[in-house]
Structure 1
Amino acid sequence: MTETLLPRFDPFAPQAQAHEGGALPDGPLALGPSGYTVLTYDLATTVLRNTRFKNAALELMEQFGITDGLAHEFRANSVIMAEGARHFRLRAPMARFMGPHTVQEIRGIVREIVEGIVADLDTSAPVDFHTGIDQRIPARIYCYLAGAPAADEPLVASLSERTLSLLQRDRSLTPVIVNAYAELFAYLRALIARKREQALGDDMLSFLIGQQEAGKLSEDELLNEAAAMLEASSVNTSHQTGLVVWTLLRDRDTWRRLVEDPELIPAAVVEAIRLYPRPGIVSKVATEDIELNGTIIPEGSDVHVAVWSANRDQARFERPTEFRLDRESNSPLTFSTGSHGCLGQSLARVEMEEVVRYLADQHPDALVVDDGTEIGQSGGRWLVKALTVNLNPV
């Protein structure tokens, strides 16, 4: 199919979210001012698993005018831009701490962190769930994994949010992004230096330092690995956690089932992230001419995988717009797939499960306060603008 015959679609336009999911009437592949858009589950999986489509993060950064300096150098050499043997070598150290088995071992720690954060709040009145709970949990868990002081939690959350504000595609944020990366690297250099002075522990950052001292990572690669871990640590998981809580508490029949049978919580979390995926779009760049669904995608073209659309593709999910706890083989693309699938997805799911489990156990009557809640979308992503929850309604 030629470009002129492809349907027109801009995944970043506000009206794009009106598309219920799956293929458009004229096909699963579209073309618009931002490039090509992939809308169906099968085609999205094909693109995400094809290493000839590289991550578009570096190109996006350059479009912001960030063409040199710390931020650009970090992104150009980061694990998400690497392929082949180098990608595997850089990914392996972090995968050791982010794999399903390791994450299950720290589930108890996650539970303690959730309990401690909620205990800090006055729950006699509705709480600001977004700033008071879901924004704090991932940053606190990062501090635990990195062996950083728990007092660094607000800084970690802020750095993650500011560096990844690149994904908002708002070029006025360029100074914010550049300054955030400078602050991030200064923080990590100081943290690494303190660890070397005080002796290494069994945390993830100490492990990476040990890898560098053993000659398996260069000093720059150590810093980049640590930066990638911090950058991705908080903001997306916090929003996704809020979206999960918002989804489940509004569906009172489902919520009662979870309260009565907590074994259903993992399935409920997966279904919620299918319907409301925080990473609404994964952007790639064709590294050569690539045939896709009968269309030749020219080298250098932007290809955007509309995750929210793939997750609601009726060819893959029966009654895709409905929340269903009984879905079989429920594998949404919220955390991507293939060799560049999200390293932290197991940890993120455990965080969400433990938040829901805590609420179901300790606050089974919790309700979303609509007047204090605003869920929106920006740059193709779902986000929590505000989320107010009454944990103990009368």
Structure 2
Amino acid sequence: MSGVTQVNDRGSGAPPTAAVLDRERLRELFDLRSSYNARSGGDYEDDPNPVWRELRERGPVHEGIVHELTGYDRPAMFQGLPYPDRPHFSVFSFDVCDQVFRDNETFASSPQAVDPTGGQIGASSSMLSMGGAQHRRYRALVQPSFVPARGPWWITNWIEETVHALIDRFAGDGAAELNVDFCAAIPVLTITSSFGVAVEEALHIREVLNDPPEVIRMLAPIVAARREAPQDDLISVLVQAEITDEEGVRHQLSDHEIYTFAILLLLAGSGTTWKQMGITLTALLRRPEVLEAVRADRSLLRPAVEESVRWSPTDPMFARFATRDVELGGLRIPRGSVVHLCLGAANRDPARWDRPDEFDIHRPMKRSLGFGSGAHVCLGMHVARAEITVGIGALLDRLPNLRLDPAAEPPRLIGMYERGATEIPVLFDR
């Protein structure tokens, strides 16, 4: 069973479709301090925001790479890195980051054209790296399952069951650790379940994302079965997806493209949503009066999530590639340069928000860059919001007097290019 034990749904008599996952494997995959996450700067434990504020005050754009400008002196990999032979520039203001996101012709998402129908399967050949008409066609094929109207489909089919089965494990204990044991498990189980992957294999498929042949081995039988007999799941939607472009050409997704999208969704979805949920919980639990306000008025949960995405986005940097010589923020950017967008700094720009360093769920709602911007705005942001709001709402419903454990070390936000919380130890009344 690969470290998985089945548990029953909340006394409903439903079949045991959720899983208790091996905690040690969860920790290895999802603790930012583990060796699995070290390559993205998971061992960075300082608060980067004071440095980013100083850089932004000195100018919107700086020559150099975000982590090096921040003072992190170890190698760190993320989108747009390493490319040692290219000039690198980093952007720290909201307006200039938004400008780059919205100008796809000048600032491409990939240094070269992407062939999604052949070659290597992975994020580098996914729609994350596409541009122009190619990106629009591909996104149109996969987007229908991720629009706001499909939120109830995700919640009813996978999110609610996963959330409550996880809470069942500790609801009678009076204590729990919520970051790895709860937040990390929700997205990976939601996504793999939507694929039709058995819960016993949920962590394995997440673990082997850098081994595309192994991912294909696991997904190929499911894709083949859904082409023969579609069901009510995401793979079935993808194999049936079809659009006709402006020239009257009909487009469908090949198996190759479905595998590539599945890898992207697992990397992006299970790699970001759990961290943002942990950041949101940390912000609320460290402010008990705000947590109580949300508990009393659940309409405040959505603005709390949006403020979390602004205040501390999980992926605080993305990169673009300059396709021509251009001036940006007063600096000349040569063609071929990598332009790093420091979203963490942009989301605290005082030119856009008053008191930007404060976590304030009552501030006037303004669009942040936590889910990106422009044509490549996060495809799964509505599913991510659903997972976070359902997850935290269920905790407030089922764990009376939820609070941080005063005898344990309080959670801290860590990480350079992937930011998230350390352990979130809590107590509650049984």
Normalising by structure 1, what TM-score?
Answer: 0.81
Q: What does residue 36 of structure 1 align with?
A: 89
Equivalent in 140, 159, 171 of residue 189 of structure 2: 140
After TM superposition, give the deviation of residue 29 of structure 1 in Å. 1.0
Q: What does residue 235 of structure 2 align with?
A: 205
1:17-28 mapped onto 2 (5 Å cutoff) = 17-19=49-51, 21=53, 24-28=56-60
Q: What does residue 378 of structure 1 align with?
A: 415
1:232-247 mapped onto 2 (5 Å cutoff) = 232-247=268-283
After TM superposition, give the deviation of residue 36 of structure 1 in Å. 1.1
After TM superposition, give the deviation of residue 376 of structure 1 in Å. 4.0
After TM superposition, give the deviation of residue 78 of structure 1 in Å. 1.2
Structure 2 residue matching 1:80: 3-state secondary structure: helix
- Equivalent pair of 1:21/1:310 in contact (CA under 8 Å): no
Aligned in 2, Cα 1:33/1:342: closer, same or farther, shift over 3 Å? Answer: closer
Q: For 1:57 and 1:286, how far apart are their aligned partners in 2?
A: 8
1:347-358 mapped onto 2 (5 Å cutoff) = 347-358=383-394
After TM superposition, give the deviation of residue 24 of structure 1 in Å. 2.9
Q: Return 5+ residue gaps in structure 1 as ranges.
A: 1-10, 60-69, 164-176
Aligned in 2, Cα 1:337/1:360: closer, same or farther, shift over 3 Å? Answer: same
Deviation string 1:258-285 (CA, Å, 9 cap, x unpaired) is: 1111111101111122112101111222
Q: For 1:158 and 1:72, how far apart are their aligned partners in 2?
A: 18
- Equivalent pair of 2:52/2:92 in contact (CA under 8 Å): no
After TM superposition, give the deviation of residue 183 of structure 1 in Å. 2.5
Q: What does residue 64 of structure 1 align with?
A: none
Equivalent in 107, 114, 117 of residue 53 of structure 1: 107
- Equivalent pair of 2:111/2:321 in contact (CA under 8 Å): no
Deviation string 1:290-335 (CA, Å, 9 cap, x unpaired) is: 2212322111111111111111111111111112122223222111
Q: What does residue 8 of structure 2 align with?
A: none
Q: For 2:290 and 2:119, how far apart are their aligned partners in 1?
A: 44
Q: For 2:401 and 2:112, how far apart are their aligned partners in 1?
A: 46
1:369 aligns with 2:429: no
Letter in 1 for 2:126: S
Identity %: 25
- Equivalent pair of 1:22/1:313 in contact (CA under 8 Å): no
- Equivalent pair of 2:61/2:329 in contact (CA under 8 Å): yes
Q: For 1:84 and 1:309, how far apart are their aligned partners in 2?
A: 28
Cα RMSD between the aligned structures?
2.9
1:192 aligns with 2:223: yes
1:389 aligns with 2:426: yes
After TM superposition, give the deviation of residue 364 of structure 1 in Å. 4.0
Structure 2 residue matching 1:256: 3-state secondary structure: helix
Aligned in 2, Cα 1:334/1:123: closer, same or farther, shift over 3 Å? Answer: farther
After TM superposition, give the deviation of residue 133 of structure 1 in Å. 0.9
Q: What does residue 22 of structure 2 align with?
A: none
Aligned in 2, Cα 1:98/1:211: closer, same or farther, shift over 3 Å? Answer: closer
1:83 aligns with 2:119: no
After TM superposition, give the deviation of residue 257 of structure 1 in Å. 0.6
Letter in 1 for 2:63: L
Aligned in 2, Cα 1:192/1:108: closer, same or farther, shift over 3 Å? Answer: closer
Q: What does residue 325 of structure 2 align with?
A: 289
Aligned in 2, Cα 1:22/1:338: closer, same or farther, shift over 3 Å? Answer: farther
Structure 1 residue matching 2:53: 3-state secondary structure: coil
Aligned in 2, Cα 1:201/1:261: closer, same or farther, shift over 3 Å? Answer: same
Q: What does residue 102 of structure 1 align with?
A: 150
Aligned in 2, Cα 1:94/1:373: closer, same or farther, shift over 3 Å? Answer: farther
- The alignment covers a number of residue pairs equal to 354
Letter in 2 for 1:32: G
After TM superposition, give the deviation of residue 131 of structure 1 in Å. 2.4
After TM superposition, give the deviation of residue 101 of structure 1 in Å. 1.1
Structure 2 residue matching 1:19: 3-state secondary structure: helix
Q: What does residue 361 of structure 2 align with?
A: 325
Structure 1 residue matching 2:365: 3-state secondary structure: coil
Letter in 1 for 2:223: I
Q: For 1:56 and 1:382, how far apart are their aligned partners in 2?
A: 23
Q: For 1:28 and 1:72, how far apart are their aligned partners in 2?
A: 36
Q: Which moved more, 1:333-342 or 1:119-128?
A: 119-128
Structure 2 residue matching 1:21: 3-state secondary structure: helix
- Equivalent pair of 2:276/2:308 in contact (CA under 8 Å): no
Q: Return 5+ residue gaps in structure 2 as ranges.
A: 1-39, 67-87, 244-249
- Equivalent pair of 2:146/2:382 in contact (CA under 8 Å): yes
Structure 1 residue matching 2:352: 3-state secondary structure: coil
Structure 2 residue matching 1:37: 3-state secondary structure: strand
1:151 aligns with 2:200: yes
